[in-house]
Structure 1
Amino acid sequence: MQMISTPTLPSKFLHLKYLHITLNANEAISPAYDYLSLVSFLVASPCLETFIFVVQQTDMKHDSIVGDISHLRQLPEHRHDNLKSVTIVGFCSAKSMVELTLHIIKNTSSLQCLTLDTSFGSCGCSVDKPGGCNPMRRDIIEEAHRALLAIRTHVEGIIPSRVMLNVSGPCSRCHVVERD
């Protein structure tokens, strides 16, 4: 079993304004991985203006927040008041991913744009490309739909009016999953 952990940072990146983290796994990221632990990077970077987090994985084995009635965790308040733009590519319905997103929204007064991409970086539909979209596995499409539901349920209602929320998912024309 592969264990991944995000280290707590012993120092600060006092002048860091742009942070791009990519979590790339050829297998499933451990369900024990806590996306909320990435807050330590935000805390260590008080001047951070842009945060991009990309999750690339071939399989997902985490507990979805959809249908989960347990309490969402909250970290002690720590302001990220220079953060203007946050992008999460590979946004999924993992409870800790939603907790990370909620922490950012609730602790950032300067946030202008939040982009949540549930299509896991899959290119959108292209009318110039024969056959439409790049193929996506059924389980990835289903997870993307759970992630969209998590956004509607937990995120949309708390977005301040000053923040532009961009949500993207699988193409509804090419990636429809029929229910059995």
Structure 2
Amino acid sequence: MQAAGQRGRSSRKALAWGSAMLLACLACGAADAATTSTTFSVNATVLASCAISATNLNFGNYDPGSATPDDATSTVSVQCSTGTSYAVSLDAGTTSGSTLTSRNMSDGIASTLNYQLYTDAAHTTVWGDGSGSTLTNSGVGTGSSSQDYTVYGRVPISQFVTSGAYSDTITATVSY
């Protein structure tokens, strides 16, 4: 029996010794662990970009017998990347006409009503595509905010055309 009791104590000693060795080995392993690092770059190329929008220009009711021209305005809004130079042009419209002399609205049948678009409230500088004596509006993008340009429209007096509704479609283009 004594041999059995001694064996139990020996087993407990062996277990204690084994546990101590295991803990010591774990501690040694943690101390021997190594790390390594690397770096990488993050890149992007921002392209110049612009967006353009415009409100409709509505002359309302035109009276050919009036002594004053019919004036109205529209707004062209441009938003471009910061530092991007741009120019805004207006075409001659979808009805026969010219940016140099006069644009035309059509009644959809055979009659046209002359009008013109300007860069200034005095109606002296025609807003076109930059050809001839027409000008464009230009600027430099600010990034987060849009830049607004007023289109000054005028229908000249004394155009005794067929009564009815007239229209045209202008394309505003931003070049950058």
TM range (shorter): under 0.3
Q: Which has the bigger relative contact order, CA under 8 A and spacing at least 6?
A: 2
Larger Rg computed on CA atoms: 2
